Amino acid sequence: MSAVAKDIIDKTRSLRSEVTQPFTASKRVYVKGSRDDLRVPMREIQLQSTRSTSGLERNPPVTVYDTAGPYQDPDTQIDLLNGLTPLRQSWIEERQDTEHLSGPSSRFGQDRESDPALAPLRFEHIRAPRRARAGANVTQMHYARRGIITPEMEFVAIRENCRLQELRETYAGAGYLKNRHPGQSFGAMLPEEVTAEFVRQEIAAGRAIIPNNINHPESEPMIIGRNFRVKINANIGNSAVTSSIAEEVEKMVWSTRWGADTIMDLSTGKNIHETREWILRNSPVPIGTVPIYQALEKVDGKAEELTWEIFRDTLIEQAEQGVDYFTIHAGVRLQYVPLTADRLTGIVSRGGSIMAKWCLAHHQESFLYTHFEDICEIMKAYDVAFSLGDGLRPGCLADANDAAQFGELETLGELTQIAWKHDCQVMIEGPGHVPMQLIKENMDKELKDCFEAPFYTLGPLTTDIAPGYDHITSAIGAAQIGWYGTAMLCYVTPKEHLGLPDKDDVRDGIVTYKIAAHAADLAKGHPGAQVRDNALSKARFEFRWEDQFNLALDPERARDFHDQTLPKEGHKAAHFCSMCGPNFCSMKITQDVRDYAEQKKIDAADALNKGMQEKAAEFRDKGAEIYHES
Amino acid sequence: MSAVAKDIIDKTRSLRSEVTQPFTASKRVYVKGSRDDLRVPMREIQLQSTRSTSGLERNPPVTVYDTAGPYQDPDTQIDLLNGLTPLRQSWIEERQDTEHLSGPSSRFGQDRESDPALAPLRFEHIRAPRRARAGANVTQMHYARRGIITPEMEFVAIRENCRLQELRETYAGAGYLKNRHPGQSFGAMLPEEVTAEFVRQEIAAGRAIIPNNINHPESEPMIIGRNFRVKINANIGNSAVTSSIAEEVEKMVWSTRWGADTIMDLSTGKNIHETREWILRNSPVPIGTVPIYQALEKVDGKAEELTWEIFRDTLIEQAEQGVDYFTIHAGVRLQYVPLTADRLTGIVSRGGSIMAKWCLAHHQESFLYTHFEDICEIMKAYDVAFSLGDGLRPGCLADANDAAQFGELETLGELTQIAWKHDCQVMIEGPGHVPMQLIKENMDKELKDCFEAPFYTLGPLTTDIAPGYDHITSAIGAAQIGWYGTAMLCYVTPKEHLGLPDKDDVRDGIVTYKIAAHAADLAKGHPGAQVRDNALSKARFEFRWEDQFNLALDPERARDFHDQTLPKEGHKAAHFCSMCGPNFCSMKITQDVRDYAEQKKIDAADALNKGMQEKAAEFRDKGAEIYHES
């Protein structure tokens, strides 16, 4: 057994005890689609009943979107050494537009495969890659434009609904649908119910993407578009300085537990090919990469030595492993580079600075730009989605919304149209560091210049003065840009600008971004978003402490914080909390007020009744005749 | 020595080592005003020089607003047993409109003073209280409306500027003023330089307040108004369940270290009179309270037994101790109470629920409402500012912006005008739990209905589903409402809804709210806000790690996070960071790009020069005559 495999086995043990531990009172459920192998996973949170003077009132369970894949399914045996079940494989095969290759067609992939020194690092069950047949186009956009609803589209439609229709029909009285506020959607059109046909239309129009490489059949389809739930991405990846393969796999699983919708593997160190294989084979969510990072490794970090051939080989290498989307910095045009010279912090995107250096060294447009149609040919042969990178994004507030940034954005719009000509799926990356009053301009310009292709932003950070808290400086911006229309938010951890995130940082970053994305859904008026808020608020008001924890984005932290002040088990059933103590509690007083008001109503009814009885007696006294004869 | 004094002495020791430890590379400076005893404290952060090919370039220090009072002045001897120096005492005395009382005039104050059993708890150097002379009005608003610029007003003017004018004149080239983005201020008018006369006008108009009770002369004046820097408040306070006097004093000092502009003492347990005395005598920032909490203690928690007399005695008791602002829930009118009956979470404000219960029990308007002018008489005799409480604020998203909440807000507007008739200073409290798309309506309505009196909001939380992270759910809302015009943001800690905050939670809550307030200042276009962002971004770009830490809102956490990944001291001078490693770094590449671009310019100039030399040689060859004779 290889060294990495041993390490992974150790991790598997810890996975069982912590990383994949089921959430208390949560149950994995599957909603079936039109075919038996279309089963959409969700998490159902069971709640306690409400005790009132009139007896027990049932609180129906709350169904929430679940990104954790098989790791939260107690009926699935997890084996990281074998990878996950390829649930999409039959869907891909049925389309009969792909072929199995005998092995990797990239030169680098072949070299790694045949290098015996890598055996200790290698995932042991590598499948031969699949590719579109000659002349075929296997993107979801291609199918959508031809009017085909794929199982992937139906899957995301069911997933987006999260059983809202069932809730409306069966549990309308439970209070979860109470006082749903109208949203302000800035042009987004959120349907009351997502149908597979709606998904198809959105993908055909380029307003949404389903990133799912045919070589990553283990992934559960998810959709990125502003007419759907706002998604979040978590970055992982080893670097030259720190972290191992097993750690990265663990972080990937950990990320899906807390709610990462996609994961980017930003590894820059050695063995990133092998690391990626381990991650892909075990990831239930789409994986994105920045291929130029690896290409740079292949030329020993010398940007000017990069060539189209090396880059092309890298794209094919990664596409055949199953990467679902590629960040491609093709918008860094030669003319924009000098526009950054007077910036306070120049070019801070790694990909952007590599390409800028290349452009200057060769004094010509980059091979990403000149070979863009060649890239499209590769993307459509595997259905890798474009994530057009913002290589010139601002690295500080002072540089926000400048000519370099917006020039590149316009070029990304041109490239979007080229990609769409090939039916390639596209999203657009956005900044970065932007003060609040300049955020909306970014969104508006992206929608206009990039023809409503989904926007995928990093933050933005709304101030530069809080290293150590940049998950927060950026969540403020992320919530806003999500509200304005950004489809996916790339998380920022507390370690941003300072170091590599550990597991705790990943959890903090993800939960923070789930908050931002959810706040955005609420503000846009997503039809199902307020259900969980209402259920949790009701639990809070009724002192159902366990339900309050279980409905929380991070039940474990909520429970832990409560127990720090009131550790006794009995306190969780108590009708008071630590802020007010047992003798005084505003929520208790409110209940008294409500009871009093109720009593008032009863009294009033009694009084009315009594009044009527008096009237009735008077009526009887007068002879009890309806018509007094005149 | 009393038990509490011993406890306090222990705390004093720990204060020295942690709570009041100076920030690295920071220097306490004082900016003098028009008189010798008007010295405004600020924190000056010293920076390293930039090393470049052309030698060392000096980075001027950055001056930041400092709330820590004498605790960050190494020349001051802190003695919690004696309290702080009463720096405003002579200003108050000079006005000759106050008189010293022989002792507390409240009955409760007298009882506590004469109770020997309280000796072990009591602060030992209680001053006799001061009160306005008969017929006098000692509020800052009263002076302002008579055209008087007080030392307090001059103090806050200097404080708000934070030496921006000096920076402009002396260090204009340092890059700190670079690319200042225009703000979007929604009607706020932020002057390029705050003058004492501007402060006076704002206070006279009711758009700003300086909360500074004449019995709290230890406090350093600060201003709350939307045409000034956005401020934050931190809540402390013991409860029946936990925490001691010494702990609360420590939390108060700790809060000012991290940037709390005011502190509310929300104690509800026993001995809150004595706790408050300790806090006030040692607090450099204004202290606010909710007097109804203590009044409720006096009637053993039975809201319906509260009377105007008990409440009045409590106001005087606290005013004579020096509380700077009172939350008064006078807007909870009888007619609004039934409007809350159908809410998902009823009345969640403690003060609101007490008053609602009282109103229902007596079926009449509360004594806060009926005696409002009597309250004004008390407020103006000590200059206690009103913080008109939002007793009917929503406790969850579902209840946001409803008839009960907005009805109360309208009543707060009516009460504002009554208070202003008495020249009493007023701010208005706001919610609570509000989804993003409904936040602006709160601000707009407050400005309109309350005639631009400063708004002081709790969050608002933008979702209910993240207990354990409510500092973040609420910072998202706080940054927005601060941008829209809220003058002070009441912090929320990670323990909100779950337990009482410990020191770490207080720090997290404060830093999070400093971020929100600063993001709001930036978005409004505050003239000096971007200076610190630019200085930090420049340090980041130039790999001046120590400067990046020292300029951070929380230097200790930034340093700690960095050291977790790269602990070696040498790495802090290294031109790379842990994200990219030593061989590849986007910032390094950018520098190369810049150097390259610079070299290109030089080359171009050389070429031009060479071309000119060739022309010159040709010119010489041709005979070096300017005019060829024809």
CB contact under 8 A, B345 and A551: no
Axis crossing angle, helix B503-524 with helix B470-484, rounded to the nearest 10: 30
What is the ipTM score, two decimals? Answer: 0.93
Q: Over the stretch A183-202, which tens digit does the pLDDT of each residue have?
A: 999 999 999 999 999 999 99
pLDDT at residue A446 greater than cutoff 80: yes
CA-nearest residue to B514 within chain A is A466
CA-nearest residue to A438 within chain B is B523
Q: Over the stretch A200-247, which tens digit does the pLDDT of each residue have?
A: 999 999 999 999 999 999 999 999 999 999 999 999 987 655 568 888
CB contact under 8 A, B587 and A346: yes
Q: Distance between CA atoms of A487 and A332, rounded to whole angstroms? A: 23
Tokens linked to B92: 């108050």
> What is the predicted pLDDT for the residue at A109?
96
CB contact under 8 A, A553 and B466: yes
Backbone angles phi, psi at A131, to 5 degrees: -145, 155
CB contact under 8 A, A469 and B553: yes
The secondary structure of residue A626, as a DSSP letter, is: S
- A313's CB contacts (< 8 A; 6+ apart) are A106, A107, A108
Tokens linked to A232: 């979040």
Question: Distance, in angstroms, between A333 CA and closest chain B CA?
Answer: 14
> What is the predicted pLDDT for the residue at A423?
98
Contacts of A64 in chain B (CB under 8 A): none
The residue with greater pLDDT, A142 or B620, is A142
Cis bond leading into B460, ω under 30°?
yes
Rounded to the nearest integer, the mean pLDDT of chain B is 91
Per the annotation, binding residues of A for Zn(2+) are: 433, 497
Per the annotation, binding residues of B are: 235, 264, 293, 329, 349-351, 390-393, 429, 433, 456, 497, 577, 580, 585
Per the annotation, binding residues of B for substrate are: 235, 264, 293, 329, 349-351, 390-393, 429, 456
CB contact under 8 A, B345 and A587: yes
Cis bond leading into B432, ω under 30°?
yes
Say which residue the tokens 């801070």 belong to.
A348
From A479, A512, A525, residue closest to B462, measured CB to CB: A479
Residue-by-residue DSSP string for B590-608: HHHHHHHHHHHHHHHHHHH
CB contact under 8 A, A593 and B346: yes
The DSSP H or E segment spanning B160 is: helix B151-161
CB contact under 8 A, B519 and A473: yes
Q: Distance between CA atoms of A67 and A284, rounded to whole angstroms? A: 8
CB contact under 8 A, A347 and B590: yes
Q: Distance between CA atoms of B561 and A622, rounded to whole angstroms? A: 90
pLDDT at residue B629 greater than cutoff 50: no
CB contact under 8 A, A348 and B586: yes
Contacts of B592 in chain A (CB under 8 A): 357
What pTM was estimated for this model as a whole?
0.94
Beta carbon pairs, A and B, within 8 Å? 436
Mutation for testing the B interface, residue in A548, A593, A594, A598 having most B CBs under 10 Å:
A593
CA-nearest residue to B464 within chain A is A533
Of A389, A118, A117, A85, nearest to A273 (Cα)? A118
CB contact under 8 A, B437 and A348: no
Per the annotation, binding residues of A are: 235, 264, 293, 329, 349-351, 390-393, 429, 433, 456, 497, 577, 580, 585
Question: Distance, in angstroms, between B76 CA and closest chain A CA?
Answer: 29
pLDDT at residue B573 greater than cutoff 60: no
> What is the predicted pLDDT for the residue at A14?
61
Confidence of residue B630 (pLDDT cuts 50, 70, 90): very low
Q: Distance between CA atoms of A148 and B92, rounded to whole angstroms? A: 81
The pLDDT of B152-180, averaged and rounded, is: 93
Q: Over the stretch B415-430, which tens digit does the pLDDT of each residue have?
A: 999 999 999 999 999 9
CB contact under 8 A, A579 and B525: no
CA-to-CA dists, residue B214 to B106, B127, B561, angstroms: 17, 12, 44
Which residues on neighbouring strands pair with residue B64, listed in sequence order?
B43
Backbone angles phi, psi at A171, to 5 degrees: -125, 30
Contacts of B541 in chain A (CB under 8 A): 344-346, 395-396
Tokens linked to A131: 């590719």
Question: Distance, in angstroms, between A598 CA and closest chain B CA?
Answer: 9
> What is the predicted pLDDT for the residue at B166?
94
CB contact under 8 A, A475 and B475: yes
CB contact under 8 A, A436 and B523: yes
Question: Distance, in angstroms, between A554 CA and closest chain B CA?
Answer: 7
Polymer length in residues for chain A: 630
Confidence of residue A336 (pLDDT cuts 50, 70, 90): very high
Contacts of B396 in chain A (CB under 8 A): 533-534, 537, 540-541
Contacts of B530 in chain A (CB under 8 A): 397-398, 435
> What is the predicted pLDDT for the residue at A18?
78
> What is the predicted pLDDT for the residue at A149?
98
pLDDT at residue A583 greater than cutoff 60: no
Contact between B322 and B287 (Cβ < 8 Å): yes
CA-nearest residue to A583 within chain B is B301
CA-nearest residue to A358 within chain B is B593
From A242, A554, A561, residue closest to B565, measured CB to CB: A242
Question: Distance, in angstroms, between B494 CA and closest chain A CA?
Answer: 8
Q: Distance between CA atoms of A272 and A295, rounded to whole angstroms? A: 11
CB contact under 8 A, A593 and B340: yes
CB contact under 8 A, A437 and B589: no
> What is the predicted pLDDT for the residue at A436?
98
> What is the predicted pLDDT for the residue at A245?
84
